[in-house]
Amino acid sequence: MIDIRPAARDDIKGIAKVHVESWRTTYEGIVDEDFLAGLSIEERAKRWMETIDKDPPLVACNRRGEVIGFAHGGKERSGNYPGYEGEIYAIYLLEKYQGKGIGKQLTRRLVERLVAEGFQSMLVIVLAENEAKYFYEALGGELIDEGTLTIGSKTHRELVYGWQDLRELTK
């Protein structure tokens, strides 16, 4: 049984742990190895401490109450995509919980929150080498743009997926 709920301050260390560990497993062989090795749970926890009260992510917790994943989203940040109001900023799960439908549950709950806040559309940006692109395609995301992003010493191709009608994702 997985519990999905808004994060609280007590969840910060768990969110940071998921953030760092999922980056290391998801982006191994993709993102610069030195960059991944330099990721710090303590540093991520500090960043989450700055935003959790005003903009809490959703967390997925296992039966023991441990954070095993999270989803974060809100207003589209770049302003480069007219017609797309919302954005998924991040969805991360510990590797052993991936492929079990938890990401889909997190996405649905995040979309429900966005719809309740008045958003009608959204986008997500994902590295082209990241297998998660197939997750977003399976959810009906349409490729609307491509770009590049430098992480560490490597430049990566990004894919931008969009949904014009978020209500389709809540069914």
What is the rounded distance in angstroms from the CA atom of residue 112 to the CA atom of residue 101?
A: 17
Reported confidence tier of residue 59, pLDDT bands at 50, 70, 90: very high
Confidence at residue 168, expressed as pLDDT on a 0 to 100 scale: 86
* 8 Å CB contact between 137 and 97: no
CATH architecture group of domain 3-170? 3-Layer(aba) Sandwich (3.40)
pLDDT digits (tens, 9 = 90+) for 110-123: 999 999 999 999 99
